[in-house]
Amino acid sequence: MPVSAWIMLGIGILILYGGLIICLLIASKRRGHA
């Protein structure tokens, strides 16, 4: 695969899964139902 494809793969993983993990970490600090 060309380098540009690897870069887009990295950007995709970073934004989607990185963002998701950050949001889940924020949510885990809250107690109760919410």
Partner 1 sequence: MRERWGSRLAFIMASLGCAVGLGNIWRFPYMCYTNGGGAFLIPYFIALLTAGIPLMILEFAVGRKTQGSPPLAYYKVNPKTEWLGWFANFGVMLIFFYYPVIMAWCLDYLFYSIKLQWGADPENFFNWSFLRKTHPLILGGLRPQVFIALIISWGLIYLSLFKGIKRLGQIVTYLMVVMWILITIMVIRGLTLRGSIEGLKFYLTPRFSVLKDPKVWLAAYGQIFFTLSLAMGSMIVYSSYLPERSDITNNAFIVSLGNCGFSFFAGFAVFSTLGYLATLRGCEVKDVVSGGFGLAFVTYPSAISKLPFGAPVFGVLFFLLLFIAGLTSAVSQVEPFTAGFSDRFGYNKNKVLALACGSAFLIASAVFSRQGGFYWLDIIDYFVCFFVITLVGLIECIVIGYVSKPSEWRKYINEVSEIKIGVWWDICIKIITPVILGVLFILQVINTIKNGYGGYPSSCLWVGFGVVCAILIASFLLMRVRRA
Q: Is 5 in the site for partner 1 (CB under 8 A)?
A: yes
Supply the minimum distance, in Å, between the C-beta of residue 5 and partner 1.
Answer: 4
Closest by Cα among 17, 15, 20, 13 to 5: 13
Q: Is 33 in the site for partner 1 (CB under 8 A)?
A: yes
Supply the minimum distance, in Å, between the C-beta of residue 7 and partner 1.
Answer: 8
Cβ burial of 5 (10 Å; 0-12, 13-18, 19+) is exposed
Supply the minimum distance, in Å, between the C-beta of residue 29 and partner 1.
Answer: 8
